Amino acid sequence: MTGKIFMLIRWFCVLSVIIGVLDATPMVQVIGKGNGVFKGHFIFNLTEDLVGWKMQIDFSKAVTGLTSPVGLEFVKDSSNETVHYIVNKDHTGIQTTKNQFDIMVEGKTKDGSVPSAQAILQNMGHDTYNVPTPPNNDGTKYNYDEVLMKSIMFYRAQRSGKLPANNKIPWRGDSALNDRGQNGEDLTGGWYDAGDHVKFGFPQASAVTLLTWGLLQYKDAYEASGQLDDMYDCIRWPLEWLLKCHTGQNELYIQVGDGNLDHNFWGRPEDMTMARPSFKVTSDKPGSDVAGEYAAAMAVASMVFKDKDPAFSVKLLNHSKQIYTFGKTYPGIYSQNVKEAGPFYGSDEYKDEMAVGAAMLYLATNNTQYLTDAETYHQHGNQWGQSWGSKFTASMVLLYQITKKDVYKQDIETTFTNWLPGATGPNAVPYTPKGLAFRTKWGSLRHAANNAFMALLAAEAGINPTKYRNWAKSQIGYILGDTGRSYVVGFGVNPPSHEHHRAASCPLIPASCSHDFYDMKYSNPHVLYGAIVGGPGPNDEYDDVRSDYVRNEVAVDYNAGFQGAVAGLKSLHLRNILD
């Protein structure tokens, strides 16, 4: 419940008496300056630390011109001049029980007398948003229905643009409503990338591809968990934005926002004031990697929406074909041509994205030219892993699903031999003492989760099904709590509460937010349900610290393969294949 401290104040010319409620023992000193001008102090002995605050003052008569020498923000009630609100500015938001909290105000009454007043102090660091937990009707170790529901909630919290009337994240509002292309095109919508507010098209499209592929493969899991409609809604939001980004036959917007400007700002997306330039690839500055990924996301989505929304499905497929042709006709690496993307999501290859895009288009159209292209683009042999920038694991799985050729089976088995425990040699993936396949320190959990999803898909195609499924289950189990703690915000035992996420760290609107909330020791005021954090180090070491963006940031690509793998495990249980 939102913390509130009440006090009743009787204003006199020099000194007033205060009646404190709860454990607060506030005092006030008031000096009447004549002609209705008064100066006073609201002094609280706090019973809890404040992480952003708001005070409502109900005066006995109309008061005008409220000010404060410490730079507070005053808001008058729209209906009259007797109710006023004060909210913290940046540097006054965090207040502790160690010191008295003194709110100084000055004002004037219209009739020349000194008013009495009643005040309520509200701690804006308490989020009242509680999410009911669905029952675990499966009897599995972890409640997969709850995980799917909350992962979808995370994606809702990442939404940019004009939010729908049924917005289910009450601490998020409309934002970035002026996002435009270089010629004024509407680029509102989509997802913010991570704990920041840039819209990076490359990892966003990659996340949509994996999420939608998971829905295509494991629709039964979403149906049984009661999340099917919400999942359609989840992926449609970024798909609509990806479609907006295709502004010409050979023109594709791939980023909105400047990463450096954005990363200098700590606050809500609703409060952004910095410039948000947009960037695109064209025939002169091509990006086959990002084009292939956009095409893949739209192609697989066209299959998912074929019965749900036929018109939307056709639109997606038409754009997918055009974008793929653009990427094929004008080969190039997008981050070499859009320098602003390079420091954040730089690419060094485009054939993997084009292979996945072509394979998805073949599944959607049955046009053999796409299959030929996919096989031509694919690179055989061991693969580093599946990520926003590396897709050959996905292409080998897709091509084996389609063709059943031994060469793709060999690719899969070679790759997973190096990923599973017991591997030796230079390509072997090391493991933490508690069993996480540790590919790299930056987002260690998402790499394990992505490849767990790939392993489940390979198992569906008949490759080492028992071994791959058990391994995938072990990696997802590590994330959900097998080590004694959960790495999913708002789920399980001892989940993260200081994740590196600007909006979640800010107090409730209208309290001001600033870099002070980045440095604070307190848990984030808002629970970013369903987000997986970057994850532990090579020895399972992990500190829930907001400033550690390597281990504690969240991102739209982090949850994508993870959610697909959870859906896969739910589906296997429904089919009595894996408990």
Please give the order of strands across the beta sheet that includes 4-9: 18-20, 4-9, 117-123, 53-59, 83-87, 73-76
Burial, 576: exposed, middle or buried (Cβ in 10 Å; 0-12, 13-18, 19+)? exposed
d(CA 170, CA 255): 27
Q: Which of 116-125, 174-183, 387-396, 424-433 is least confident? A: 116-125
Are 114 and 252 found together in one domain? Answer: no
Residue 93 belongs to domain with CATH number: 2.60.40.290
Residue 256, in any domain of the structure: yes
Higher pLDDT, 174 or 25: 174
CB contact at 8 A, 191 and 159: yes
Q: In this predicted structure, what is the pLDDT of residue 7? A: 46
Residue 135, in any domain of the structure: no
Domain boundary pick from 89, 123, 157: 123
Residue 434 tokens read as 């508690």
Look-up: residue for tokens 């050979």? 250
Beta bridge partners of 44: 101
Residue 111 tokens read as 């009739």
Residue 13: pLDDT band (50, 70, 90) is very low
d(CA 6, CA 564): 48
d(CA 506, CA 271): 11
Q: In this predicted structure, what is the pLDDT of residue 31? A: 58
Residue 47, in any domain of the structure: yes
Are 413 and 515 found together in one domain? Answer: yes
CB contact at 8 A, 48 and 123: yes
Q: In this predicted structure, what is the pLDDT of residue 386? A: 97
Quick: pLDDT tens for 354-370.
999 999 999 999 999 99
Residue 19: pLDDT band (50, 70, 90) is very low
Residue 364, in any domain of the structure: yes
What average pLDDT does this structure show over 95-121? 84
CB contact at 8 A, 175 and 274: no
Residue 132, in any domain of the structure: no
Are 106 and 52 found together in one domain? Answer: yes
Are 102 and 227 found together in one domain? Answer: no
Q: In this predicted structure, what is the pLDDT of residue 5? A: 52
Active-site residues, by number, are 544, 553
Residue type, 484: G
CB contact at 8 A, 142 and 480: yes
Beta-carbon contacts of 136 under 8 Å, excluding residues fewer than 6 positions away, are: 142, 143, 145, 146
Q: In this predicted structure, what is the pLDDT of residue 71? A: 66
Are 333 and 413 found together in one domain? Answer: yes
Q: In this predicted structure, what is the pLDDT of residue 4? A: 54
Are 381 and 466 found together in one domain? Answer: yes
Are 424 and 455 found together in one domain? Answer: yes
* Cα dist from 291 to 83, 245, 298, 337, 406, whole Å: 55, 11, 11, 13, 29
Are 221 and 369 found together in one domain? Answer: yes
d(CA 215, CA 221): 8
* Segment holding 50, helix H or strand E: strand 50-51
Residue 437, in any domain of the structure: yes
Q: What is the mean pLDDT of the chain?
A: 92
Q: Is the pTM of this model over 0.85?
A: yes
d(CA 358, CA 345): 22
Q: In this predicted structure, what is the pLDDT of residue 14? A: 30
For the cut 80, the answer to whether the pLDDT of residue 152 exceeds it is yes
Helix, strand, or coil (residue 383):
coil
Are 41 and 166 found together in one domain? Answer: no
Residue 447, in any domain of the structure: yes
Q: In this predicted structure, what is the pLDDT of residue 17? A: 27
* Domain span including residue 484: 144-574
- 313 φ/ψ angles, rounded to the nearest 5 degrees: -60, -45
Burial, 539: exposed, middle or buried (Cβ in 10 Å; 0-12, 13-18, 19+)? exposed
Are 110 and 183 found together in one domain? Answer: no
d(CA 435, CA 11): 65
Residue 435 belongs to domain with CATH number: 1.50.10.10
d(CA 116, CA 60): 5
Query: Which of 186, 216, 192, 187 lies closest to 204 in space, CA to CA?
Result: 192
In the chain, pLDDT over 90 holds for what percent of residues?
77
CB contact at 8 A, 318 and 312: no
What total of structural domains would you count in the chain? 2
For the cut 80, the answer to whether the pLDDT of residue 18 exceeds it is no
For the cut 70, the answer to whether the pLDDT of residue 26 exceeds it is no
Quick: pLDDT tens for 325-344.
999 999 999 999 999 999 99
Residue 130, in any domain of the structure: no
Are 203 and 239 found together in one domain? Answer: yes
d(CA 94, CA 86): 15
Are 27 and 154 found together in one domain? Answer: no
Three-state secondary structure of 66-130: EECCCCCEEEECCCCCCEEEEECCHHHCEECCCCCEEEEEEEEECCCCCCCEEEEEEECCCCCCC
Beta-carbon contacts of 267 under 8 Å, excluding residues fewer than 6 positions away, are: 502, 506, 513, 514
Q: In this predicted structure, what is the pLDDT of residue 40? A: 75
Higher pLDDT, 229 or 126: 229
